[in-house]
Chains A and B, each alone.
Chain A
């Protein structure tokens, strides 16, 4: 279970929101540019610290302003796919995917087995020795996803993963991505500004506006597909 309460001043606006998500759930966080979507992911990943608040993933407390607890980004079980993928330009596809495994000092054969399995899973075997610059946008997106998922994270953060693709590719990749995310047992937070993507990918949609999740008088978030409260713990069944 992910339970996060985030407060952070960002330039001229402040981010104040609470999130909850259960394992296997995909939470679509939807909002316009500058609404605080990327900052939310960076706070969850540990790349940015909240001014106040608390982040807990299962039993682990990643951040708690009250007690001063703070787990650095490299000790969190989090996979992060940024908007532009940020594939290491000097490493080939295989080394990009194996990067995190090697960072954990896993044994050579374990690194090979897991990296090979991830490449096969995402149909990247034949691109293993290519540099990121030699790949199409869709292929780069799959490498970024494979690199994050090979680490078996408990929380997967995706920041507008389709925005770097052209319209035609976006349609194709959306279906593939939905299938991949649907099969995951980890919690996924999917940031997008597209309602179509949010509906196709998310079990639950949260609308982020100016750093907040507004609620209707009824208490519902206007973006939520289900009638669950905006930060409600109960996930809607995957459609």
Chain B
């Protein structure tokens, strides 16, 4: 019975690993190295690659800059409506991306909730590169804020207490104690957020459209290339997979590098 269970569990695990690995293997087997290099210099591919990297990097920076204070507030303060804010922050993680894009249109489109005000300011978000960034920020923010808030909340209160008895103000404690001790969580959040922004599709195509060089990011270009240029689609997909793998590996490397921060300094008595 026990042996049968082990075999069954092994088969199940193997099946899932195969399901995860086979599509990736198929991608890499589909294209020849010379095609890969040739397609990378294709103007449409290059434009999608550049746009994706630029917008994902920028939206990650925005998410970090705006998410840091919000994560700190959520981790350290109690305030009316905190639960609502927490749900709002986490919602994009479970929201269908096309619904998110549609909601963004209803809020920031020309006929949207803030359309007239944005128009008056000369800001046009739908179907622009700025719109791509807004869609990415919307979808990627929870991937940073949730781990960042958890990281802040897990900093041992004793260190903050000691900092205050050493005359440290709250901002000083934040930068010299809270931030460095939460760095692994913050880096993990930023990496995941960047990966999410890079892979964003549904909200982007709904809110920002699909214009080469302006709003056509790599996932959109893959989708378009599937109909006309299979080699191009494969090359773009391989680039996306490679970046995602690199991000994941850097995340693991960072985690290992910061292991010493995860708990109390081990104490030796002698």
| Assembled-state Cα–Cα distance A133/B264 (Å) | 8
B268 engages A137 (CB within 8 Å): yes
The stretch from B25-33, B50-58, B129-137, B174-182 touching chain A is B174-182
Shortest CB distance A160–B (Å)? 14
| Assembled-state Cα–Cα distance A160/B264 (Å) | 18
B161 engages A103 (CB within 8 Å): no
What chain B residues lie within 8 Å of A166 (beta carbons)?
A: 269-270
Q: A103-B172, A133-B266, A165-B269 given as contacts; is B167 within 8 A of A75 (CB)? A: yes
> Is B165's CB within 8 Å of the partner chain A?
yes
> Is B166's CB within 8 Å of the partner chain A?
yes
List A residues 86-127 near B (Cβ within 8 Å): 86-90, 99-100, 102-104
Shortest CB distance B180–A (Å)? 5
Shortest CB distance A40–B (Å)? 15
List B residues 255-270 near A (Cβ within 8 Å): 260-261, 264-270
List B residues 180-234 near A (Cβ within 8 Å): 180-181
Q: A45-B165, A73-B165, A136-B269 given as contacts; is B181 within 8 A of A82 (CB)? A: no
Measured as residues with beta carbon below 8 angstroms from the partner, the interface class of chain B is: 20 to 34
> Is A151's CB within 8 Å of the partner chain B?
yes
| Assembled-state Cα–Cα distance A153/B124 (Å) | 58
| Assembled-state Cα–Cα distance A45/B129 (Å) | 54
> Is B158's CB within 8 Å of the partner chain A?
yes
| Assembled-state Cα–Cα distance A148/B161 (Å) | 13
What chain A residues lie within 8 Å of B158 (beta carbons)?
A: 82, 84, 86
| Assembled-state Cα–Cα distance A138/B270 (Å) | 7
B269 engages A169 (CB within 8 Å): yes
Interface of B with A (CB < 8 Å)?
A: 156, 158-159, 161-169, 172, 176-177, 180-181, 260-261, 264-270
